[in-house]
Amino acid sequence: MTEQGTSVLAVTFAPDNSGPIFELASLFGDVDPPKVSLNVIQCATPELRTKVGAFVDRHSTYAPHLFRLRKLLTDMPDGEFFLLIPHALTASAEQYQYERVLHQLNHPQDQPLAQHAQIFDELLERYDLCLPRTDKRFDIGNSRKADRVCRFCGGTTAKKAKFDKEAHAMPAALGNKYLKLADECDECNQYFGDEIEPTLVELLNIQRVFLGIEARGGLPTVEFSGGKMFRAPGEEKLIVVASNKISQDASGVLTAQLGSEKPVIPQIFYRALAKIALSVIPTEELSALTETARWVRYGQDGDQPLPKIATAVVMLPPEPSAQISLYIRKEPHASLPHVVCEFRLGCYLYVYALPFSKKDETSLIGFFENKDFKDTFRHYGFVPSWNQQDYSSKEAILMTQNIKIHPRNP
C-alpha cells in the first residue's frame, strides 16, 4: 500500500524452486527457511531499489509482472514510506486503519487524525466501501462466457443469452473508458443503451460540456431547441454558448435561453443511476437486490414513491470520468439503507439509496434526513447545501435550460 493506492502482486514459482521466494522475502524482512518474517512498514531507499532491480533482472523472464514491483519503487520519492501487507484487505475499516498509519508515517507534521476518525469511524463500522477505479482497465464479473449470469435478467449462455458486446459499467459518454461489466448480456446492454442511459446523459449534458468530459475521443457538443454549447476548438478552457435569445440585466448578468432538450422521464434517471450501482456492486450482494435489478431492467414497481436523490455542488478534484462509490451495510439496521450510492461527475454530487433491497426493513423515504443516517454519514454534513429531488414520476417532461453568466468582479 502506497499513498497512491493499493497494488496486489502475485508471485508463483514451482514447488521445487522455492529459492526465488525466499530471495524476494529477504528484501523486505528476515528469512530463516522455512520461516519468513516480513516487515509491514517499508521505506523507499536507493539501496532497496537497487536490490529489487537486481532481483527483477534475474527472474523477470519467468515472472514478467515483477516489473510492476520495480516501477512502483521507481515512482516513489526517496524516504517515502509504504506498507507491505501479506494478506488481502477485505474490510473497508481495516483498509482505512492502514491508510491512517501510512499517512501519519509520511506526514508526521500533521496532527493526529482524530477529527478524521471522529467523522468516519462509525461509518466504517456499519458499512463496507466499494470504490471501483476508473483510471485503468477493470472488468467486473466472470471472464469465461460460459460462467456469466446477467445481473439484470438472469440470462446465461445455457438460456441462449449472448455476451459478445462490450458493456460499460458507466456510460462512455460520461468519460468511462475502462470500467467494464462482463456479466451483462447483449440484450440488456442494447436495452440500457437505447432506453435508460440516454436520459442520464441528457440530464447531465450541460455538466459534460462545462467539465470538458471526453467521450470516445472527443469533447461533447450539446444542441437544444434554441441554442447549443460546446468547447471552442483549440481553446480547451473556452466554453461557447450559442443562443437565439441572450439578454443582459442592469448588473451585467447575461442569460442565454437554450430552450428544451428531448422529453425525459425522471424515474428513468433514477434507474440509470441504480444500474451503475448494480454494475459494480460485489456479486455476493446481488441476491438481496433481485427486485432492484428487475425494476432497473423492466421498470415494474407499481406506483410507489422512490426515495429522493440528494444533489450538491462540491469543490472536489476533477476527474476525466464519472465516479461511483457504494456504501454497503454490514449488519441489519432498522432505518439505515442497505446500499447508499454516491455518484460524482466533477463537482456535481448525487447521493441515493438502492430501492427494493430485501435487506431494508422499512421504507427509505426520507432516509437522508434520518438521525441515524446523519450520525453515520457525518461527512455529508460538511456540504453547505443539499437539494433533494424526487425522481419517482413516470411521466415525460421537457427540461428548459437557461445559462446565466455573471461578470467577474474586478
Task: Tell me whether residue 200 is exposed, middle or buried, using C-beta atoms within 10 angstroms of its C-beta: 0 to 12, 13 to 18, 19 or more.
Answer: buried
Mean pLDDT of 85-103: 72
Asked if residue 160 has pLDDT above 80, the reply is: yes
Span 65-71, average pLDDT = 87
Q: Strand pairing of 348-353 and 227-231?
A: unpaired
Q: What is the pTM of this model?
A: 0.77
Question: Helix 66-74 crosses helix 46-59 at what angle (to 10 degrees)?
Answer: 160
Arithmetic mean of pLDDT, 197-225: 88
Return the residue matching grid coordinates 434526513.
369
Q: Which of 159, 127, 400 is nearest to 259 (CA)?
A: 400
What's the mean pLDDT in 183-198?
96
Question: Alpha-carbon distance 161 to 116, whole Å?
Answer: 47
* Other CB atoms within 10 A of residue 116 CB: 15
Q: What percent of the chain has pLDDT above 70? A: 93
Which of 152-166, 189-203, 252-266 is the least confident region?
Answer: 252-266
227 vs 240: CA distance, rounded Å = 10
Q: Where do the H-state alpha helices sit in 165-308?
A: 186-191, 197-203, 205-211, 266-280, 290-298
- Report how far residue 368's alpha carbon sits from residue 285's, in angstroms, rounded to the nearest whole number: 22
pLDDT band of 227, cuts 50, 70, 90: confident
Confidence of residue 301 (pLDDT cuts 50, 70, 90): low
* Mean pLDDT, the chain, integer: 88
Residue 224: strand pairing partners: 227
Q: Is the model's pLDDT at 8 over the cut of 80?
A: no
Buried b (16+ CB within 10 A) or exposed e, 366-401: ebbebeebeebbeebeeeeebeeeebbeeeeeebeb
Tell me the Cα Rg of the chain: 25
Closest residue by Cα to residue 307 from 370, 223, 391, 186: 391
How far is 286 from 281, CA to CA, in rounded Å?
8
